Structure 1
Amino acid sequence: MKAFFALVHRELLEHRGAFLVAPLALIGILFTMIVLAYVSGRLNFELAAMVNPPALRVFEVGFLGFAVAWWLYLLGVLFFYCADGFSADKRNNSMLFWKSMPQSDFKILLAKFGAATALFPGLIYAAALVCGVIVYVLTLIMVSVGGEDMGTFILGAVRAYLSIAGGILVALAASILWFAPFFAWVGALSTIVGRWSVPLSILVPLLAAGIENMYVSGPAPEGGWIWSYLSYRVDFPINEEGYLRSWFMSGERFDVYQFTLDLVGRTDWMQVVLGLAFALVAIFAASEYRRRTIDN
């Protein structure tokens, strides 16, 4: 296990720019913009207090808004990380070094996949929590200006923060499980074609769907079976009408328990299991390709 964690740590060192430096820089830029806006008078808390929106509502919507932005950032960066990280050893000539150690190609690729599905999402989750604190401070200033009961707001905001933080964690875990086969697919493909795996990972399924539509006849859903299945797998269950939509329209406090029940109920867990199985098979096939390519 020590060797495995060392491999994961290596991934952090090699890709800390996207998952550590960039989030810290973005948070720093956000904080700087807020300070400058406040100093210049563009951030008018008195006007916000006159509009008199519910402070807890402002905090919840702001926190969740930043969480969604970080979630989209994570999914995009993970896709490109897998396209790059799975073939990086070949480009920087470090593969021979790792091949000289008693670590199999499968273990090396599994460490890369583990970093993509556990370590890096954890860093982005921490960034989302920091943004929640920033939103809390801004809302606290608005409450102090508006003359609302500070104690009531602080108690409610702490509960809301913990509830939303739990909801973000659940959504991150579920989305990583749901999109794991896509990350494994582009990563495995990159061991063969390198960075060309980014366009090919999209082009190959589209060509398969097109061939099905042209040459396969018989009853099929609109667009064909392949296209319908891919459309279903790309659509994360949280995008459907569910708790988040009803919560936003109702104005009630965010309830992590109800959110979790709704997400778990909407997720096709059989597809999650099949996707994880596909990911393991893809990683194993890629490791065998790496092993046979270097050995020969």
Structure 2
Amino acid sequence: MTSAETLAIPSVETAKTVNAPRPFYWSIRRELWEHRSILFAPATVAAAIIVVAIARINYFTLLIENGYKGPNLAVLMFLVAAGLVIITASLTGIFYSLDALLSERRDRSVLFWKSLPVSDRTTVLSKAIIPMAVLPAVAFAVSVAMHILLLLIFSVALLILRQPLSGFWSQLPFFQIQVFVLYVIVTCTLWYAPIYGWLLLVSSISRRAALVWAVVPFVAAVGLERFASRTEYVGRWLQHRFAGGLQAAFHYATQQHGEVGLKDATPVLYLASPGLWMGLAAFAIFLFLCIRIRRFQGPI
């Protein structure tokens, strides 16, 4: 072996080490490639809101001419617009979770993915990270971009009326709105973690109609409880799981007109809520079961 060949070997090995594949990263990229709605759904809703805002800009200027005296209307529009984006991202996460482990068994692509050097744990965690981190991040980024565009649209409306922009910009709590939206996204995502985990588990064991299998057990439990004991413990537990996150994240008692803002956030009480940690524990159990089930399952 020549000295040149000897010197070339370490460089090749170094290149292979540097370019070694990252299974978890590329598994997430795979999910984004296969499920384009993860990115497109929130962006599409935001684009529709922008179009409506532009189309109704005359209506906005008319409100200003008829006595608009503060940023409350704009704040309300900002929060409603962000709420629509968040709801869209949540629904996207629900339907994604229902299909994540079912579709690969239905189209038999699970055989190909299992032939790759990627563990079942990596695959399941990459699917769980989509509704728990990727979609919330997309929702927040889209919401911020949409709010910036809405702020420009409202500013144009003021310029059309030859109204000063300084008062509007100084009174509109733009940064606080973004913090409020981020707080809502984080608290809701963590609170709904067991829901996503349950849907992933149903997706891993069902052969078809995953939505039916995910809902029927709870509907049956509510019906049987009411028929057998005339109580509503299961229904109240479900209500707490769906609505309890915001109730723990904000203090409603001081509100007289239903207005809740960043000043009413209670992160300490939220983090101390037993429902949060019980839900995260259930989420971890569901993921563990998904990993175990996928290890022994093949295509449908």
Q: What TM-score, normalized to structure 1?
A: 0.82
Instruction: Confirm whether residue 141 of structure 1 aligns to residue 138 of structure 2.
Output: no
For 1:2, the equivalent position in structure 2 comes to 22
Instruction: Confirm whether residue 14 of structure 1 aligns to residue 38 of structure 2.
Output: no
For 1:113, the equivalent position in structure 2 comes to 128
Q: Which amino acid in structure 2 is aligned with residue 288 of structure 1?
A: R
Among 178, 182, 186, which residue is 1:169 paired with?
A: 182
**Counterpart-to-counterpart distance in 2, 1:245 and 1:199:** 40
Q: 1:271 to 1:67 in 2, by over 3 A?
A: same
Identical counterparts, % of pairs: 21
The answer as to whether partners of 1:144 and 1:150 remain within 8 angstroms in 2 is: yes
Q: 1:79 to 1:194 in 2, by over 3 A?
A: farther
The answer as to whether partners of 1:70 and 1:124 remain within 8 angstroms in 2 is: yes
The answer as to whether partners of 1:175 and 1:236 remain within 8 angstroms in 2 is: no
Most deviating of 86-95 and 278-287: 86-95
For 1:191, the equivalent position in structure 2 comes to 204
Most deviating of 57-66 and 84-93: 84-93
- For residues 106-138 of structure 1, the C-alpha deviation after alignment (integer angstroms, 9 at most, x for no partner) is 221111011111011111222222221232123
> How many residues end up aligned between the 2 structures?
278
Instruction: Confirm whether residue 26 of structure 1 aligns to residue 45 of structure 2.
Output: yes
Q: 1:28 to 1:172 in 2, by over 3 A?
A: closer
Q: Which has the higher helix share?
A: 1
For 2:255, the equivalent position in structure 1 comes to 246
SS in 2 for 1:54: coil
RMSD (Å), alpha carbons: 2.9
Q: 1:214 to 1:154 in 2, by over 3 A?
A: closer
For 1:235, the equivalent position in structure 2 comes to 243
Q: 1:2 to 1:33 in 2, by over 3 A?
A: same
Q: Which amino acid in structure 1 is aligned with residue 159 of structure 2?
A: S
Higher radius of gyration, 1 or 2:
2
For 1:260, the equivalent position in structure 2 comes to 265
Alignment gaps of 5+ in structure 1: none
Q: Which amino acid in structure 2 is aligned with residue 208 of structure 1?
A: A
Alignment gaps of 5+ in structure 2: 1-20
**Counterpart-to-counterpart distance in 2, 1:155 and 1:46:** 19
Q: 1:287 to 1:278 in 2, by over 3 A?
A: same
SS in 1 for 2:77: helix
The answer as to whether partners of 2:42 and 2:89 remain within 8 angstroms in 1 is: no
Instruction: Confirm whether residue 283 of structure 1 aligns to residue 280 of structure 2.
Output: no
Q: 1:36 to 1:87 in 2, by over 3 A?
A: same
The answer as to whether partners of 2:70 and 2:171 remain within 8 angstroms in 1 is: no
For 1:226, the equivalent position in structure 2 comes to 234
Shift of 1:89: 1.6
**Counterpart-to-counterpart distance in 1, 2:234 and 2:244:** 17
Q: 1:32 to 1:63 in 2, by over 3 A?
A: closer
